[in-house]
Amino acid sequence: MPTYQVYYARRPTYFASGQLGTPLLTVPRLRRSHVRVTTIEADSRAEAWLKMQGENWSPHGEARSLIEHLGLTHTSMSVGDVLRDEEGAYWECLDLGWRRIDDDTREGDHVLHEKAAE
C-alpha cells in the first residue's frame, strides 16, 4: 500500500494558497509554513485525507499531545495542508481536489479531483 507523509499548516487559513492575498505555496515555502505530522498508508490522496480526519485518527483526543507538541492548532487535515507521495511529489489539499506544489514559484495548474474513499 502506498505511503504519504502528512504536513499540516502551522497557521492554517483554511483556504488554498494563492487565494485571498496569500502567496502560492511552493516547496521552499512549505518548509517554513508547514510541519510534518506523520506518515500513513493509503491507496489514494482521498483516502489519506479521510484517514487524517480527527474522528478517524484521534477519536478520543489521542493526537492532542502530538498536535500541541508540534505547535499546531488543528487535528483534521484541511484545505492548505499537504501530502507528499512516494515519488516525492507534494500535493496541497484544496476545497475540491489537490494541487501539485512546484519546487519554484511557478503557478501550478495540476488540480486533480478524486472520488472520496468509500
Which tens digit of pLDDT belongs to each residue from 58-67? 999 999 999 9
Binned at pLDDT 50, 70 and 90, residue 110 comes out as very low
CA distance 11 to 53: 18
pLDDT above 80 for 109? no
Q: For the whole model, what pTM was predicted?
A: 0.84
Structurally, the chain folds into a number of domains equal to: 1
Report yes or no: 93 and 14 within 8 Å, Cβ to Cβ.
Answer: no
Q: Is residue 81 part of a domain?
A: yes
Q: Is residue 102 part of a domain?
A: yes
| Owning domain of residue 97 | 3-107
* Most confident range, picked from 6-15, 17-26, 86-95, 109-118: 86-95
Q: How far is CA 105 from the centre of its chain?
A: 19
pLDDT above 50 for 106? no
Q: Is residue 25 part of a domain?
A: yes
